[in-house]
Amino acid sequence: MRFNDLAKKQYEDIDNLSVLLKNYVDVYRLLIAGASELYGVNLAEKSEVKKALERVENVGELIDKLISTLERCEGSYLKYCKIKNEYITVSTEKDKIFTEIDNELNFQNSEREE
């Protein structure tokens, strides 16, 4: 497997983890709102509120694990991006870029004149 393919796969993994994290955060917020509503209802038993808060805590632990995983994964991906950028910066010849820009501008100008 080429390193570029590996980096793309890692990006996809990070993206998937980010989506999962967003979903867990949404669930976490809904669970907190539900527990708050239960607490505000006089008919709710303390045990129900306690169970709701335990669910919130469990999802919170999952969120913490996901954040930790993302931190570990993103380090190597960001390093790949930095190295790739440094290589492109060093190996790119400015004259070729300027020539390409000039050609594009000349092409655009010639279209307007017609």
The domain segmentation of the chain, as residue ranges, is 3-89
Cα distances from 9 to residues 14, 37, 76, 85, 88, in angstroms, run 9, 42, 12, 19, 21
**Is the pTM here over 0.85, yes or no?**
no
For 56, other C-beta atoms within 10 Å of its C-beta total: 19
Provide the 8-state DSSP code for 67: H
User: Looking at residue 114, what is its pLDDT?
Assistant: 56
pLDDT by position in tens, the chain (length 114): 677 787 788 888 888 889 999 999 999 999 999 888 888 877 778 888 889 899 999 999 999 999 999 888 888 888 888 888 888 777 777 777 788 888 888 877 676 665
The dotted CATH code for 3-89 is: 1.20.58
User: Looking at residue 13, what is its pLDDT?
Assistant: 87
The alpha carbons of the chain give a radius of gyration, in whole angstroms, of: 26
